[in-house]
Amino acid sequence: MRNYLLRRLFQAVFVLWAAYTLSFGVLYLLPGDPATIMASGGGDASTVTEAQIDALRHQYGLDRPAADQYATRLLHAVQGDLGRSVQSGVQVTDLLGQALPTTVQLAAAAMLLAVALGTALALAGSWTGRGWLRQLLLSLPALGVSAPTFWVGLVLVQLLSFRWRLFPAFGDAGPAALVLPSVTLALPGAALIAQVLAKGLRTALAEPYVQTALAKGASRRRVLFGHALRNASIPSLTLAGIMAGNVLGGAVVVETVFARAGIGRETAAAVTAQDIPVVQGVVILGAVAFVLTTLAVDLLQPLLDPRITTTTTTTRPAVRT
């Protein structure tokens, strides 16, 4: 276990470095000049003098070679200093720290809802003995996956806020304002979980041990919940971990649609202004979330299936004899 954790720690460091390097390269190659955008306040750049722009470039180190900028920022990032926002002058860590709680609240609610809805739909489709109902329930995930997130959000706002006035359409004041954005962010994930879990349940229910359990008098409910679900949930658990790590990407769209203050709004504003330190901070934050969730999933899998072990040489299932 120790060697496995050390290997995963090395992989995590490599993922963070790669994310930082790729984000720097992409942002550096974008057309435009962050100093000009900052000096003009996002408005007419013709009113800004070259002296003002040069002063801002020198202040934020934008006049140095790309390799020098990369090395300096990487060294500071390793020390926990992500720099200052080019747009506002605030420390990136402080900026993200203020926006993070709102996004974490949204992400946690969306993940809980996605797991609950996806699991319930897969179990209902596998439990029912009526073919038409099973076909209907197991067809719903494909519809959820294909629906664009922004379209789902706009439909929910139109129906549940503007027409029926059940929930607020915008803002983040109170638990009621969390309902629509969390449902919007959860539906695609719930559909994916339902698809993967339903397929896993079909495979598990066709195994010989299920037929043996039924022949010994075990009820269908006990077989489904006590035997098949545990084995079929491993791929869904892996998928849920990946979804949790990537939830920041969905938050950008959802927080923009529902006008919520969070990481998504900060990301959209930083990309528009070419605020490289903020965008890189968001990328690193997303990479950290992805690394931690995938590590948690890898450590939880052996608890669900003892055949899966974490050895020093392989992570493939080891079947006990």
> How high is the mean pLDDT in each 10-residue block of the chain (321 residues)?
80 88 82 73 68 81 85 89 82 90 88 90 82 79 79 87 87 84 89 89 84 80 80 81 74 81 84 81 86 80 66 43 36
The answer for residues whose C-beta is within 8 angstroms of residue 12's C-beta and 6 or more apart is 291, 295
pLDDT at 116: 92
Q: Enter the pTM of the model.
A: 0.77
In angstroms, what CA-CA distances link 304 with 13, 116, 235, 297?
28, 18, 11, 11
pLDDT at 321: 36
Q: Residue 46 is encoded by which pair of tokens?
A: 């013709």
- CB contact at 8 A, 228 and 204: yes
Q: Is 185 exposed, middle or buried (0-12, 13-18, 19+ CB in 10 A)?
A: buried
Q: Which structural domains are found in the chain, ordered by start?
A: 2-78 (no CATH), 92-304 (1.10.3720.10)
Sign of the C-alpha dihedral, residues 67, 69, 72, 78?
negative
Euclidean distance between CA atoms 68 and 78, whole angstroms: 16
Quickly count: other Cβ atoms within 10 Å of residue 136's Cβ: 12
pLDDT at 317: 44
3-state secondary structure 61-81: CCCCCHHHHHHHHHHHHHCCC
Q: What is the DSSP secondary structure assignment for residue 112, as one 8-state letter?
A: H
